[in-house]
Amino acid sequence: MLLLFGGFQGPTWSVVKITFLTLGLCLAAMLGLAFSATDWTIIVHVTFLVLISGVLFFLLNSFLAETGLVSVEQQMQEMGLAPKEISEPSKKSQ
């Protein structure tokens, strides 16, 4: 549902970047282990995984550049979840 509205929240993008950072660290460790095993099949496989994750990160980054960051309040208004103003009940009581 996040992709249907005007942008991403800052904390959401921070979580995505941290997730890709840890994925990169895991893939780097796997690549190091593959080179130490000297099995070319594993090296090619892990290199392909690194390539896929790099392309995915690039595509997500370019998508974010096009949509931009929005505040939580603005996103709630777009989804129709913003709380109604409190001044309305006071007008009814007068």
93, part of any domain: no
pLDDT at site 71: 72
Which stretches of the chain are DSSP H helices? 10-37, 40-67, 72-79, 87-93
Range of the domain at 48: 6-79
Which candidate, 12, 30, 10, 32, places its Cα nearest to that of 22? 30
pLDDT in tens, 28-87: 899 889 889 888 898 899 899 989 988 998 998 888 777 777 776 776 777 677 676 655
Instruction: Tell me, yes or no, whether 65 lies in a domain.
Output: yes
Q: Is residue 46 part of a domain?
A: yes
Query: How many domains would you assign to the chain?
Result: 1
90 lies in some domain: no
- Is residue 32 one of the residues assigned to a domain? yes
Sign of CA dihedral 76, 77, 82, 86: positive
In a domain? residue 1 = no
What's the whole-model pTM score?
Answer: 0.61
Residue 31 lies in a domain: yes
Helices 40-67 and 10-37, packing angle to 10 deg: 170
Q: Cβ distance 32 to 94 under 8 Å?
A: no
First to last CA, the chain: 41
